[in-house]
Amino acid sequence: MNDEILIVRNVRARRTRLSFDPITGRARLTVPPRASLTKALTWARGQSEWIERQRERLPVARPFMPGAVLPVDGVPLTIDWRADAPRLPKIVEDRLTIGGPVEMVPRRVELWLRRRALALLEADTAVYAARAGVNVTGVAVGDPRGRWGSCAHHGAIRYSWRLVLAPPEVRRATAAHEVAHRIHMDHSPAFHALVATLYGRDPVAERAWLRAHGASLHWFGRSPAD
């Protein structure tokens, strides 16, 4: 069981704590600096039923394979692989057509999704930056596990490319959130008021969607064995 639990010594921790990460599918045991690791592990082993219940609730892995359905910008697209089709993915009605070696499908689909995400988020960011009257020095996408977007003090904004798989309103609310950080580099009442002004309303529903379903976005592109 030790191999299934990530053990972390945290100088700020005041008590031993067991948590579960729905993104990685691993349990995390946080231990104060002076606490007994042996006792902490003994206690954690006694929580095996709880850990198993958390595993049963994990999102379903959704690999990028022929026949898989991807919710791209709110539109379900079925990966349609044919060996003689062009290798570059292309939207044709309700399908994402792709050719070439079948073993390259997952990589090519992910690269296409990243490019699609960047194009959409660049457009979203430009809209809200214009409304806010601010300059954004650059927009990029990555695959962070802990946040959906970040705004640097010099004006560059970086997003998770997985937002392309979220409902469009969730993606746009995230863009409004990050653009608002160009004026308020905090989460003060003034910041949240600006987000609501830029977005058109308080994006409470969009924040709730990410809390409830955000982890599932990280299971796209993963195989059940991961």
With cut-offs at 50, 70 and 90, classify the pLDDT of residue 110: very high
**Which of 213, 225, 133, 136 is closest to 170 using CA atoms?**
213
pLDDT digits (tens, 9 = 90+) for 19-71: 999 988 899 999 999 999 999 999 998 999 999 999 988 999 999 999 999 99
- What pLDDT, on the 0 to 100 scale, is given for residue 24? 87
> Quick one: what percent of the chain has pLDDT higher than 70?
98
CB 78 within 8 A of CB 95: yes
How far apart are alpha carbons 94 and 80 in whole angstroms? 10
CA pseudo-torsion sign 26, 30, 33, 36: negative
- What pLDDT, on the 0 to 100 scale, is given for residue 32? 94
Q: Answer whether residue 99 shows pLDDT above 50.
A: yes
Mean pLDDT of 181-193: 97
Q: Answer whether residue 123 shows pLDDT above 80.
A: yes
CB 89 within 8 A of CB 109: yes
The pTM of the full predicted model, rounded to 2 decimals, is 0.88
- What pLDDT, on the 0 to 100 scale, is given for residue 1? 38
Q: Answer whether residue 4 shows pLDDT above 90.
A: no
Instruction: Give SS3 for 162.
Output: helix
How far apart are alpha carbons 50 and 218 in whole angstroms? 22
Mean pLDDT of 168-193: 98
- DSSP code, position 220: B
What is the helix (H) or strand (E) element at residue 34, kind and residue range? none
Mean pLDDT of 200-222: 97
Residue type, 148: W
